[in-house]
Structure 1
Amino acid sequence: MLSADDAGVMDDETALRLLREGRIEVAGRLIEASNMTLYCTIRLGSLSAACVYKPVRGERPLWDFPDGTLAAREVAAFEVSAATGWRIVPPTVYRDGPFGPGMCQLWIDTDENVDLMALIRSRLPALRRMAVFDAVVNNADRKGGHLLPRPDGHVYGVDHGVCFSEEDKLRTVLWQWRGKQLPSEAIDVLHRLERDLQGGRLGRRLSELLAPGEVEAVRRRVRRLLQTGIHPYPSKDWPAVPWPPI
């Protein structure tokens, strides 16, 4: 039987089936989160794992994002992550739960020996991929605490509720590649995303989760990255780093 401690080795398809079909049992609340974020156990037959459940009804209204849309944005971020093949966002679904519809995401156990400040300043390929991903989804809140380093060296990213705005809102702690040429791996992935956004599965899924203008903005950002061939620079009209940075 897979447990919450084994969630890091659960393959994504199994995790997604568990998240979609399993029974959610709330164990507690993560009180440091700004929106209602519940730590839960989810069970389906012999499978079980820990998960995070964020019901729409617990979302705090924001002036620059439509009410009740943050959970869908988290799922949209997973869909983009899955399309890249980089596995940046843990398996995430939109489903009903004990407090109504919301997002449900596999809990990731982290390596507590990793110094987050040192990780943020590093030039790991995994973080460079995340910087490209954040530019695509227009992440307005990439804090250091949203990085989840695994004992095997993989780094996940979480908390993508404030992504996909039509306006440029990129705020991140990962600016070490600003203005640098995109690696060939990223160029290949961006070309694949561009095709997938034009009539492919990714375009269809994002159209189910986001407003039409927001989906078009994703296409526009991918095209811009391919045209410039570089990591974006911080905006002069928007704070470059979220606060607090961790």
Structure 2
Amino acid sequence: MSASESEPALMPTHPSPIQDERALKLLRDGHLEVAGRLIEATNMTLYCSVSLNGSTAACVYKPVRGERPLWDFPDGTLAAREVAAFEVSQATGWQIVPPTVYRDGPFGPGMCQLWIDTEREVDLMRLVRSRNPLVRRMAVFDAVINNADRKGGHLLPLPTGHVYGVDHGVCFAAEDKLRTVLWQWRGKPLAREAVGVLAKLDRELESGALGRRLRELLTLAEVEATWKRVRRLLDTGVHPYPSEDWPAIPWPPV
């Protein structure tokens, strides 16, 4: 029996697309009010409320002007990369990234993402080391978007069992930069489901809406590199191995 065949069946525990659409409209058009700052974050990350037509939700707002310069990513691009990660997430159908938009706010344009209340009883490090098929989806997703910073604390487990992933500002580099705590599937055959999703991404990046949307958020070279990563995964049929030229695990790992 192959590794993919021995995995437990996936349960439909994620939010519905209808809920996501409502959240996106609220995030995009609602009144944004800053309530506080998440001081442990590297870049300016503000905890906010967003309100529209009687509906209110908590959200995270990361203004571009609060981004710290990085040597390996162009200045002022992290917010757009977060939105690009959401677009890829939606195209997979896996809903790994919470609803995320690019909008203006009290400190200028930036990323605005729905706040997620997590299941506090979950042991994050145990989840990181697990064979949970939802976490395995995230490993495939990270390989596609070239996530340079998948820490354990970026996994948000819900009481329903769904697992979100957040903090995708350092993704989509044209050079291979995959750095993650999710290496337990390295070299293992991709699950049948993942192969089908990657084939869909291949088509969408070549001539579909996803390719057009990513070209609005990233450079052409970065979009082309994303497409090449998808095709490489399809060609090899396995989860990638860590690079010998780049640290495999982010620091700190949590």
Q: TM-score, normalised by structure 1?
A: 0.96
- Unaligned stretches of 5+ residues in structure 1: 1-6
- The alpha carbon displacement at 1:10 in A equals 7.7
Q: 3-state SS of the aligned residue for 2:212? A: helix
The amino acid that maps onto 1:25 is E
- Unaligned stretches of 5+ residues in structure 2: 1-14
Superposed CA RMSD: 1.3
Contact 1:140 1:162 in 2 (8 A): yes
Name the residue aligned to 2:19: 11
For 2:190 and 2:162, locate their aligned partners in 1 and report how far apart those are by CA, in whole Å. Answer: 21
Matches within 5 A, 1:97-176: 97-176=105-184
Is residue 2:66 matched to residue 1:61?
no
User: 1:109 and 1:39, CA in 2 relative to 1: closer, same or farther beyond 3 A?
Assistant: same
Q: 3-state SS of the aligned residue for 1:198? A: helix
The amino acid that maps onto 2:103 is R
For 1:46 and 1:185, locate their aligned partners in 2 and report how far apart those are by CA, in whole Å. Answer: 39
Name the residue aligned to 1:3: none
The amino acid that maps onto 1:127 is V
Name the residue aligned to 1:90: 98
CA displacement 1:193-234 (0-9 Å, x = unmatched): 000011211000000000000000000000000000000000
Contact 1:120 1:174 in 2 (8 A): yes
For 1:199 and 1:179, locate their aligned partners in 2 and report how far apart those are by CA, in whole Å. Answer: 30
Is residue 2:243 matched to residue 1:235?
yes
After superposing on structure 2, the runs of 4+ consecutive aligned residues of structure 1 that deviate more than 6 Å are 7-10
For 1:202 and 1:20, locate their aligned partners in 2 and report how far apart those are by CA, in whole Å. Answer: 19
Name the residue aligned to 1:194: 202
Q: 3-state SS of the aligned residue for 2:147? A: coil
- The alpha carbon displacement at 1:176 in A equals 0.3
**Percent identity for Structure 1 against Structure 2:** 76
Q: TM-score, normalised by structure 2?
A: 0.93
Is residue 2:222 matched to residue 1:214?
yes
